[in-house]
Each structure stands twice: as C-alpha cells, then as structure tokens.
Structure 1
C-alpha cells in the first residue's frame, strides 16, 4: 500500500509538470518568444533556451565547420589533382596555345637557313617529329636551291648539335634561337647543323610524355642523328627540362664515346627540388608530396646523373632566372666531378627563356666548340 501511494503521488506531480509546460520534447516552437526546456539527465536539472538562442548556437557551429572544412577540402583537392594529373603539370606541349597545330610550311623561316622536317621512330612505336636546320651555302643562296638542297650536304668535319627543348612549345618555337646560332653575322658557329627532334606528345609527335618515355626518345634521337651523320663531331644541348633529358643520354658510356661535349642551359637538379623552389610555402602540399617515392612519377634526378658524365660541359646560367634558381645550376656543376673539364658562363640580365639573346652567348658556345672540336 505505501508503494502504491507513493506511485500515485509521483504520477500526479508528473502530470502537473506536463500541464504547466515545464518539460516538453525537443522541438521547434512556432512562437520565437516561447522557451524550450531541456532536461539534463546527468545533472537532473532543467535548462531553458529560446529558439533564437538555439539558432545562434547552430549558426556558429555551422560557420566553424565551414571555416575548417572548406580549406581542408581544397587542400585535399589539390593533393589529388597533383597525384592524378602530375604529368599534365610537368609536360605542357599544349602551351603556348596552338603549339601542336603549328606547321613548318606556315612558319616564317629565314631564307638564309635550310630547315627540313624529319621523323624518328622509337622502339615502343612512337613517331617523333622534329627539324634539322643549317645555314645555306653560298651557292644555295645564289641559285635558290632550297627546294632541292639536303641537310645532309655537309662536310664530315662540320659539327652537329642535338638540341633538347624545355617542357613547353615545339621546335618551331625555338627557331629564333636556331637562327641566332646559325646566322648571327660572324659570331655564329660556322658550318653548324642543329637537329631538334621533339619528344612524344610534342608538336605532331605521337604518344604521351612521361619520364621513361622521354628517355627512350633521347636514345632513339641520338641513334637517328648518328646514322644521318656517322662521322661528324656531335654535341648535345639541353635547356631546362631538355637538360635533364640530355644528361640522361650523356650518362650512357656508348654515347659519351661519340660526343665531343655537352651544353647545359638553365637546368634543374631534380623535379623534387623544383617543387620546393616553385612552392616554398609550408602550408602548400606540393613539396611534401614530391618527396614521396610513390607519388612523384617523373623525378629527373640530374644532380645524381651528372656524376656519370665524363665529357666536357659548358654551363650557361641566367642570374635572374625566374623559374629555376641559379643555385641548382651551381649544384650541378659541383657534382660534375668526372667531367673532363667544365666551363661556367653567367648572364646577368637574362631570364629563363632569353639567354640566347644575351651578349656573350654565341661567343661562349663558339669557344667551347673550338676547344673540343
């Protein structure tokens, strides 16, 4: 009986609480001025919040999640894009726009220069497109025999340079540099022939660029040029990414036996170092991802590879290079310990792409070829 009495009293008190709105389910009230009462089971107390206060509390929570979540989402997006599309960021044959659609016939070529399009096949089936250029001989200019003249009509003692380009554009966009080397009054390198063959995926070449692929291209290009000019003294020239490709080629013992010297212009030590140089900010993900051997697929570790080069090396370095710090070129020279000799030339007012226009550029190359020919 006492238990039943206590239970009856408790039920009456509970109904009284419900009737006076002291306890209600957690729901939104139509009247903003009404109060919502929440029961804290741990403390066994009632806390009263207005709907307006609850909305404010919810807004601050939502803003906090947005403030933290959006940067994290962008950071994750950048990391994902870097991993999935890194080759699109490293190799950019589509820049400047329209590069791959350029045609030699529609390109303005100096009439004093003979320029022919050639193709090279790689062992894995890629068809590489490029050009071979040289200055016309006096009889060719007078008789206007450019249509019948051949780039093979050179003396076997004349030097031949294999040019490896940077990561953008085509060999046609390098024609101003070629003309400078071949035609620039008396400072030009006499009787020089330049073979500029593009990588896979560049210009009208088939395939897609990646490190192993470009390495195969370099070997195929070298074999092609050597077959066309079996007795001529060969030189290798690499600019920017082309320097990394060329150093891979020059590190092979059988290539070194055939090459008189190599020329490096504004080249990096490795792509890992380039990621740190281009994105030094500690909050960006690029340099951290580049350190992983499982994420960065193209590495181009030229700082290690140059140790295997024994041929003479000419370093052409722009002091104000806006892309590749000059310190990386200095590190390459410091690691060229097995080279027969090295020559360093600074260009004080040059940027990454206009070294060939600077005073002393032609003289440096001419002296290097004269010394090694």
Structure 2
C-alpha cells in the first residue's frame, strides 16, 4: 500500500486545509484519519497554483459537499500516477496522449523541472475546464459576498456615487437589460475622468463618470452596460479572479473566506483583461440583451468607433482593456446586419441633463 501526503480542503476543516496521509485501496481513494473513502470514478483531477505545479483531486461527498486534495510534492504526485486506479489513470492517460508521449511523461517525473513542464502541458489542455469547475463551486451568495467585500475597499477610496440622476438613469437601463437574471445587480458611478467601466463578481457594475461624459447618448451607455453585464452572467470576472489568485486562495473563497481574495481583486480593477473569447462572448450576448430589451443596439458600434479614433496617448482604459477593436467593430456590424431589430428604439432620457448631474461635477471639473 503506497501512502502519499496531501492537504485536504473541505467543510469543517481549517481554511489552510489539513495535512493527511492518503492511499488507494482497490478502486477507492482512502483517507483513514478522516474516515473518508471515495470511489475514484467520482474523482476528477486538475492542475493549479501560481506556478501551475500543484496537483489536485476533487470530489463530492454523498451529501453534496465539495472536497479537494492537494498533493504535497513531486514524490507524492509520482506515487499517485504510479498507483492510481483505472478511473483516475485514464484521466492521466488522456493528458499524456494530448501533450506528450507516455514514456516521456512518466520518465520525466524524476526531476522538478520536468514536473513543471508536464504541469504546464496539462494546463494548456485542461486549464479552462479547471477554472470553470472551481468557479462553479462558488455559490451566487458567496460570489455576491466577494463583490461586496471588494466594493467596500473601493468605497474606502471615496468618489463613489450611489444616488442622483445619473445613477437613476443607469439603474433604469440596467433593469431593462437584466430582467429574470439570477443576480441582484447594483449600479454605481465612480467619479473618475478615465473612460472605463468594470464589473465585480456577484452583479456589481461600476461606470466611470468619464465614460458618461464621453457617450453621446444613452444608447451608447446601454451598450457598455450590456457588455459588462455579460461578464457577470458568464462569470468572467469570477474566473479572472481565480486566474489571479491561484487555486489555494480561490479554494478559500469556495470554503467561505473572501478576505484572501479581496485585496488582489481591488488592485486589479480598471486593468482587468479578459480573453478574446470572453470579449467576443460579451459583445455577442450583450448585443442580444439589447435586442431582447428592445434598445437600439447601434450604440455598441458608434461608441467603439468613437473610442477607436482616440490618439494613442489618450486611449481610453475601456478600450485598452478590450483589444482587437477593429475586429470587434466589424463583428458587431456583421451581427447587426444579419439580425436587424426593427422594433428596437432609442432610449428616451435627457442625456445632457444626465451628463450635467451635480453629483459628477468633481470628476468633470
């Protein structure tokens, strides 16, 4: 019986986990000290850590509680690979076939550097699935708690507007775009000249006053809101958080402690880069949300076109964090042409009055 050392994360355990000895018995994973026996066909594996050199095994208890087992070191990883029952060894085998030959993988486990290379190779194949798996372990209330905790840090810096005509206008537009959503949205304005907007995990959307000043009409602002809403609905912001924190800290969020994540998220706000696929998805679904709400969707094109003309030194933050602007404009124009919305109408607000809201005066002076 080959024993391997690991850190166990789960309900009623310390946030930092508990050191345990584990082994395989037949087709089961066993942790004797915790009276845990789980069939390996119910166990999934992933790679994580800031350096992507940490191996995890994940499973659910019969009552639906999530557990994760982090292998302690390279020797323990080798023991698991050598002794894993068929359900787990098949997962390892799939990894090997996609990245390297079985011979190279198993022989290279003898050195730390090779173990890192293999972890990195696995990451390329399984990374998105692992991030999604962990994000899905975070409940909506936990995600909202994380967003609220980050918001508290932002509010500590001041210059957050929660009421007034501009906020009311954003709330009205936002409600049209988020009907039947599983999230309870919060709409705020940050008094900042930078042309920017960002979404926090859990349904908190923050618009810089500089973006309100830049938009020519409420339809252009609605396009930005529709885009940011999709980052929330598709949990892009949460997944970015997991990317930044690494699996150990992200598991703390899963287990109910959001404090470890808050500082990192707050530091990143305004500079949160999403993948090209995420941006394409937010544009596509954001456009659909505008059409569903019967809001004239051309504001998405006109705002992007306007921002694209800004001199390089003055490139708006909202544009710089959303790359491939020309391709995005072309893609949105194509979608508008293929799916015209005859019943969509411009939003009716006194936009000049909104832009002149006294609550925004400090940022615009």
TM range (shorter): under 0.3
Instruction: Report which of the two has the higher share of helix.
Output: 2
| Structure having greater relative contact order (Cα 8 Å, sep ≥ 6) | 2
Greater C-alpha radius of gyration: 1
